[in-house]
Structure 1
């Protein structure tokens, strides 16, 4: 699932007439980078949620783009606004399998490998989520979560890293006792993801690892301009931290 429902307030005026995931980075829409990386690794069934100017995303990519088959969850059309991350995932849950990737369509991580080996390890481990963390960028110096010596994600730790937005999840994380929103979220409940993750972390059911490849949260026009000032690069499957 690619999260593409954000308003992109900090990117205004660039996002006044174009949704943030369609802003171009090095010659292609920002969200197209992970789409192509996922498809190159064999994950070609995509769910994309939308809100602000979401019809532009559906028009740009349609139901099929390259090797990707795309189903849209139009939160803005159905509920008048975005449902936040957990609310959006639960809304799309009937379209997802028992285990699935989730990532934000406004993060640039061109070398991240969405590998089948990572999925197999996750399935075999029995946890509810596996998160990729990154070194803290200047705009988020305190980080989000720690990592224990045995690879568990920690709410509290001496050193914290920033959540990259890339993760593997089981559908069970979005059901009781961690989430009480019915699958499909028929009521359009808005709910953040962090409380679910923190509750599952407290039960030792979330693992994590540090990814140190290229990664940018494209949250301001200045960060977008800096990326576009770099030499263009082809999408490729570098190490995903494993």
Structure 2
């Protein structure tokens, strides 16, 4: 099984730290953010990891190399000066990922979630790990039904199920991107080459067809989006 780590973002809220170093390469505890994921993926038996790059792209191969120190083969999907967003980034990386389901991890989150719990074959087009909404994003993203399917937050009868936040971890089938233009339409960036578009509209469309499942992780999870949250997580990990 292969994996995709999203690492192309600019990290505006993390400035000035990200003026010289991409956010996934910042250190928390003993490792860089992305290294926590690489160690977990290697322990799971993943051998090939694709990392999408845009901002300060050359820093990744400079600091991570070819992945051999982690027991992995790292493949870099370079997107140019401007990141292609999550949907465009995944589409651009597909030639490196192949036709089988693959793991996706956001490079700027930290969690104690056990990747071994992920299904190798999702029931539908995607399986997402959900967490309790964070204080800075209290509304949540999607709702998790009793049968394990995910629904749009405001779609009836979804209001009767808990609204949870997408953790940035999941398993995806490449087929989720089939017909993406029909879903994205004429959104800005969709006509660019390579195209730039978000993944969320494709997930919501698949949810309406009942083709996205999820699970609720009750353990530790941090969206490392600000210097304050980075410092707090660093203290927490060093105190362990």
Length-normalised TM-score, structure 1: 0.87
Distance across 2 between alignment mates of 1:66 and 1:103: 16
Matched residue, 2:163: 160
Alpha-carbon distance in 2 for matches of 1:52, 1:177: 25
The residue aligned with 1:70 is 74
Matching residue of 1:199: 205
Post-superposition offset of 1:178: 7.1
Distance in structure 2 (CA, Å) of the matches to 1:160 and 1:206: 15
Aligned equivalent of 2:187: none
2:66 and 2:192 map into 1 onto residues whose CA distance is: 23
Q: Which runs of 5+ in 2 are unaligned?
A: 185-190
Separation (CA, whole Å) in 1 of partners of 2:96 and 2:25: 23
Is the 8 Å Cα contact of residues 50 and 72 (structure 1) preserved in structure 2?
Answer: yes
Distance 1:120 1:161 in 2: 23
Q: CA 1:130 to 1:233, structure 2 compared with 1: closer, same or farther past 3 Å?
A: farther
Please provide the CA RMSD for this pair.
Answer: 2.0
Are the aligned partners of 1:86 and 1:190 in contact in 2 as well (CA < 8 Å)? yes
Quick one: which of 205, 213, 220 aligns to 2:219?
A: 213
Pairwise CA distance, 1:187 = 2.0
CA distance in 1, matches of 2:101, 2:85: 20
Task: State the aligned residue count.
Answer: 223
Pick from 45, 54, 59 the counterpart of residue 56 of structure 1: 59
Partner residue in 2 for 1:239: none
> CA offsets per residue over residues 30-72 of structure 1, 9 Å max, x none?
1100110011010121000011111001111111232111000
Partners of 1:233 and 1:172 in 2: CA distance: 43
Are residues 1:132 and 2:129 paired?
yes
Aligned to 2:31: 28
Q: What is the TM-score of this pair, normalised by structure 2? A: 0.88
Q: 1:231: how far off? A: 4.1
User: How far, CA to CA, are the matches of 1:190 and 1:99 in structure 2?
Assistant: 22
Q: Is the 8 Å Cα contact of residues 147 and 209 (structure 1) preserved in structure 2? A: yes
Structure 2 counterparts to residues 162-241 of structure 1, below 5 A: 162-176=165-179, 187-232=193-238
C-alpha displacement of 1:224: 0.5
Unpaired runs of 5+ residues, structure 1, are: 235-242
Contact 1:179 / 1:196 at 8 angstroms: preserved in 2? no
Distance 1:177 1:13, change over 3 A: closer
Deviation at residue 172 of structure 1 after TM alignment: 0.4
1:145 to 125, 142, 145: 142
Secondary structure (helix, strand or coil) at the match of 1:197 reads helix
Q: Does 1:12 align with 2:38?
A: no
Q: 1:93 to 1:179 in 2, by over 3 A?
A: farther
CA deviation profile, 1:114-150 (whole Å, cap 9, x unmatched): 22x633452xx2x000011100110010000001110
